[in-house]
Amino acid sequence: MSRTRAPVALAVPAVAAVALVVLPLVYLLLRAAGGGLDVFEVLGRPGTLTLVVKTLVLVAAVTGTAIFVGLPLAWLVTRTDLPARRVIAVAAPLPLVIPSYVAALALLGAFGPRGLVQQLLEPLGVERLPEIYGFVGAWLALTLSTYPYVFLLAGAALRGLDPALEDAALGLGRSRWGVFRRVTLPALRPSLGAASLLVALYTLSDFGAVSLMQYNALTRSIYVQYRSLFDRTPAAVLALVLVALAAVLLVLEERSRRRVRASASGAERRPKTIPLGAWRWPAFAFCATVVAFFLVVPLAVLVYWTARGVELGHGIDFAWEAALSSVSASALAAVIAVVAVLPVAFLAERYPARWTRTLERLAYTGNALPGIVIALSLVFFAANYLTPLYQTLALLVFAYVVRFFPQALAGVESALQAVHPRIEEAARSLGHGPLRVLATVTVPLIRRGLLAGAALVFLNAMKELPATLLLRPIGFETLATEIWKYTALGSYSRAAPPALLLILVSAPFVYLLAARRGSDVSAPG
């Protein structure tokens, strides 16, 4: 590891980027400070502790299940002779593109009381399905939205792993399971850590699923406070509690990361395919169940609603124009986010010092905030201090970048970890400056990681709603706002076509993410 001091040319843009990303935190501190002693009153309410506990329980459950579902899937499709693994490789990460409020609505449509599944089972004498409202529903809907993070990041790490290590362990007489536990799993730790972090932050910040499922997480309470309008202090205090929880998670993840060393050598070797033998079909059944439950069921509900809309004479309005708006705003956000993330990630990975690591961790904290908080903070700053930019496309894109900075960061960092610093050191020893090395050596080497980060930002921006509603230029319709327009009225038959279109338009980008092969790290174009 390089011990040189961080170059100013990197430090300045990195600090500037993070300073912009933490604007919502500044806003919250302003609002909370305006409340004076009320802050302690809100913190001291018995209800606040209950909210924290319920939120943490949900975060733990969702993160655990996302790993339990995502990791085996990733291993099976990258390493084994699983039947139909190409199809599964593409289908498994697709739920990522379903907004969590749509996922929750669809799950309710399927498994809710008197939902489609119950109607199907009625002839068999099934009068009631297990209760979905509350914890179970929130847990399922959020697992659906988040396990693809684990699948994608673990999958990428599995592909980049040097098979020589596993081969050696096998040669030493370890069992398959032993090799997985002692060699593969530790090597996956950084990517699992990054993925878990994204999952946990997503769960902390989500409002759509918990409100539809009526689970009392902190975000739901924050929204109730905002909607009650008399005082913005309690909402700000509760949002800061979310940030504090995020900070704890960030420190934990940082600790777990320190114990592992990067193992990727950059060597280019395709690992041997592991024959599953008798486990082939049970493994396939597992994958098929996951895809059926988390992808086919919501899609089926959306198609059913669309069909009902046709029956009711609504016709199908696919909102292509909104799709174009969504794609252009999200694509801009994706590109800008990756550019902004680079100096932060590079600094933290290549010039590890307390301040560079802190800067990088700080960039994650805003991701724990629900969209409405980020939206209102940008309303405040832009309307009062950047009036010409207020409610322009530029501000909307900026909001996406702020909200999904961590997604880009996670993608770029995991790619950086896979490139050995020695390659860059060689370039520096030839007399190139740090920016030049970053541009000519590192960026080409990690360009797949950059694409992955960009795709994650893109997909999240495509489904973003709260900030879009408040910050978009007037008349700028996105697919998310189209869906909202109808779900707000309970008109699911008219909300379903734009939701299907959102999935359709996003799917190729997921394919791009999922289908990249092991050859990533090598040839720079």
Partner 1 sequence: MRRVMVLAVGALLGLAAGCGGDDDAGANEKLVVYSGREEELVEPLFDRFEQETGIDVEVRYGDSAELAATIAEEGDNSPADVFFAQDPGSLGAVEREGLLTTLPQDTLDRVPARFRDPDGHWIGTSGRSRVIAYNTDALSEGDVPDSVFALTDPKWKGKIGIAPTNASFQAFVSAMLLQLGEERTRDWLEGLKANEPKLYEKNTPVVEAVGSGEIELGLVNHYYLYLVKEENPDAAVANHFLTGEDPGALVSVAGASILETADHADAARRFVEFLLSDPSQRFYVDEAEEAEYPLVAGIDAKSGLPPLDNLRGPQIALDQLGSELEQTLELLNAVGFTT
- Residue 147 near residue 66 (C-beta atoms within 8 A): yes
User: Where does this chain bind partner 1 (CB under 8 A)?
Assistant: 45, 47, 50-51, 112-114, 133, 211-212, 214, 216, 220-221, 223-224, 226-232, 312, 331-332, 335-336, 338-339, 372, 376, 379-380, 383-384, 387-394, 397, 439, 443-444, 447, 450, 466, 469-470, 473-475, 481, 485-486, 488-493
Which CB atom, from 460 or from 481, has the smaller least distance to partner 1?
481
Which CB atom, from 195 or from 397, has the smaller least distance to partner 1?
397
Minimum distance of partner 1 from residue 480's CB (angstroms): 13
Q: Which two tokens stand for residue 200?
A: 């946990």
Which CB atom, from 55 or from 356, has the smaller least distance to partner 1?
55
- Compute and round to an integer the Cα radius of gyration of the chain: 23
Minimum distance of partner 1 from residue 370's CB (angstroms): 12
**Cβ neighbour number for residue 52 with a 10 Å cutoff:** 17
Which CB atom, from 277 or from 388, has the smaller least distance to partner 1?
388
- Residue 146 near residue 367 (C-beta atoms within 8 A): no
Q: Identify the bridge partners of residue 285 per DSSP, sorted by sequence position.
A: none
Minimum distance of partner 1 from residue 391's CB (angstroms): 7
Which positions ≥6 away from 305 have C-beta within 8 Å?
109, 492, 493, 495, 496
Which CB atom, from 71 or from 379, has the smaller least distance to partner 1?
379
Minimum distance of partner 1 from residue 85's CB (angstroms): 30
Q: Which two tokens stand for residue 182?
A: 């002692």
Minimum distance of partner 1 from residue 500's CB (angstroms): 17
Widest pairwise Cα distance in the chain: 78
Minimum distance of partner 1 from residue 339's CB (angstroms): 6
Minimum distance of partner 1 from residue 364's CB (angstroms): 23
CA–CA separation, 286 and 207 (whole Å): 29
- Which of helix, strand or coil describes residue 274? strand
> 479-487 and 320-350 helices cross at what angle (nearest 10)?
120
CA–CA separation, 379 and 381 (whole Å): 6
Query: Which contacts (CB < 8 Å, 24+ apart) does range 378-385 have?
Result: 378/23, 378/24, 378/402, 378/467, 378/471, 379/470, 379/471, 380/27, 381/23, 381/27, 382/471
Minimum distance of partner 1 from residue 48's CB (angstroms): 9
Which CB atom, from 65 or from 493, has the smaller least distance to partner 1?
493
Minimum distance of partner 1 from residue 314's CB (angstroms): 9
- Residue 512 near residue 454 (C-beta atoms within 8 A): no
Which CB atom, from 98 or from 467, has the smaller least distance to partner 1?
467
Which CB atom, from 157 or from 445, has the smaller least distance to partner 1?
445
CA–CA separation, 484 and 331 (whole Å): 21
Minimum distance of partner 1 from residue 234's CB (angstroms): 9
Which CB atom, from 384 or from 429, has the smaller least distance to partner 1?
384
CA–CA separation, 321 and 90 (whole Å): 27
Which positions ≥6 away from 343 have C-beta within 8 Å?
10, 11, 13, 14, 17, 438
Which positions ≥6 away from 221 have C-beta within 8 Å?
47, 51, 238
Minimum distance of partner 1 from residue 252's CB (angstroms): 27
CA–CA separation, 288 and 285 (whole Å): 5
Which CB atom, from 82 or from 105, has the smaller least distance to partner 1?
105
Q: Shortest CA distance to 155 belongs to which of 349, 383, 362, 411?
A: 411
Minimum distance of partner 1 from residue 97's CB (angstroms): 21
Which CB atom, from 223 or from 351, has the smaller least distance to partner 1?
223
Half-sphere exposure of 102 (CA within 13 A, CB side): 38
Which CB atom, from 177 or from 230, has the smaller least distance to partner 1?
230
Q: Using CA atoms in the order 100, 101, 105, 107, what is the torsion angle rounded to 10 degrees? A: 20
